[in-house]
Amino acid sequence: MNHCLENKDMAFEFHGDKDRYFAMQLENAEQYVLPFIEAYKPINASLNILEIGCAEGGVLKAF
């Protein structure tokens, strides 16, 4: 049984476009994730980030 998804079987059409998905993740992180974290801890160059699977990497790019 093949468990790989083809583009036509993806939940959202943008999942098939890795560049678009990356850009969406980056935008989401910049608008929502970073401000949420910064409300509790300043984000600066000395901050360590543990990345645990962020799909295309757009969320991590925001840091």
Structurally, the chain folds into a number of domains equal to: 1
Structural domain contains residue 43: yes
Quote the pLDDT of residue 21.
Answer: 85
Structural domain contains residue 2: no
Structural domain contains residue 45: yes
Measured on CA atoms in the order 5, 12, 34, 56, is the torsion positive or negative?
Answer: positive
Structural domain contains residue 23: yes
Range(s) of the domain holding residue 41:
14-61
CA distance 20 to 58: 10
**pLDDT range class, residue 9, cuts 50, 70, 90:** low
Structural domain contains residue 50: yes
Phi, psi of 44 (to 5 degrees): -145, 180
48 close to 37: Cβ distance less than 8 angstroms: no
Structural domain contains residue 47: yes
29 close to 57: Cβ distance less than 8 angstroms: no
> What average pLDDT score do residues 43-57 get?
81
Structural domain contains residue 22: yes
Structural domain contains residue 38: yes
